[in-house]
Amino acid sequence: MSGGVDSSVAARLLANQDYDLSAIFMRNWDTRDESGTDKGCEWEKDWDDVQRVCRSLGIPCSMIDLSRQYWNRIFQPALDVWESGSTPNPDVWCNREIKFGALLEHLPVDPNTGTSWFATGHYARKRWSLSGRPQLLSAKDQIKDQAYYLSSISEQGLARALFPLGDLTKVQVRELARTYQLETAERPESMGLCFVGERGKFSHFLNSYLKPNPGPIIDLTTQKIIGQHGGLWTYTIGEKAKISGQSLKTYVCRKDPIKNAVYVVPGGNHQALLEHRVICTDWKWIWSDSPPAGFRCSVKVRHRQESQSCTAKLAHDGALEIVPDEALRGVSPGQVAALWDGDWCLGCDVHKARRPQMRPHKQAQPLQDTIETLDKKAKEWQWW
């Protein structure tokens, strides 16, 4: 439980059922800054809300401090990625490494079955295939759907997961919270990365951890320097570039960490903003059986982005190349690309800034729609 309305309603729904239920609160971030104050995420308030809700539900709750694991596994690697000019998504890897990693390792198990269920307030769904394997599905509420953020978790972690909110909309969840008279019913929705909290602009937050590294802003069309940046992390590919003294609207199309340069183009529809291939070198399938190379599916590179039809191919070095039917706009190295078969999420990885040569491949085939056929083929799937 996080102290928000979603996890509170999830707990209430489970409390109505025949579960031996207990709640756990993760402290992932130490908000004390160098001055000794405690600002930002204000985890104590979240913990207080969790305790109040649990008291009203009559269930025990406990807190686990995973701030060290979060710093080492999520935040420090993300800082390195930002500093290099790429754009990480810490929330995706937090689910893999922390919620469905370090936290799951600490949870008690039933002595009879050797396992336990792990419920969260995510807007996502799970179903079982005919052979008894778990599948991650999009939520009913497409606006709040969070399956993208869960796309990196393993099959073993997904098997233990429960998503009580998967078939509900946010409006319904809020109404249920009021009906159940939960203390968090009117709590505002949290937005953005948890470790930024109320600290202000994201770039200012990063500036407190990364040393200034100024460099040129270059117009890609003229190759002229038109401004200066304070660090590659201060600009994001695809976004409007704010350049002092420039009236022309320009957009970031590329960043060069070797030259420490940010490249921009005029207008938001420039061809340089389009990405025709997404390259992934360490793909993480939720099912460990990798699908056949050259299959048809759909891809998302952002949360809330409508999935786009694509073909997934295998590069000569084992990397996965995703070729969308229509070019994607503003894709940055480090962004997470997730593949889908309909509403079934297959897995994800980060986009790399390279263009490998492709081995010759057969014409892409659609991934079979029936789960029964997929189960039969699962053991046969291999790279060719």
Residue positions annotated with a catalytic role: 94, 194
Are the C-beta atoms of residues 303 and 148 closer than 8 Å to each other?
yes
Q: Under a CB-based contact definition with an 8 Å cutoff, are residues 346 and 286 in contact?
A: yes
Question: Helix (H, G, I), strand (E, B), or coil: what is residue 217?
Answer: strand
Q: 120 — alpha (psi -120 to 50), left (phi > 0) or beta?
A: beta
Distances, alpha carbon 38 to alpha carbons 27, 132, 190, in Å? 14, 46, 18
Q: Which residues contact 314 (CB under 8 A, 6 or more apart)?
A: 293, 294, 320, 321, 358, 359, 361, 383, 384
Contacts of 19 (CB under 8 A, 6+ apart): 117
Q: What is the chain's percent helix, strand, coil content, to nearest 5?
A: 25, 25, 50
Q: Name every residue whose Cβ is closer than 8 Å to that of residue 242 and which is 6 or more positions away in sequence.
A: none
Cβ neighbour number for residue 180 with a 10 Å cutoff: 18
State the pairing for strand pair 344-350/284-285: antiparallel
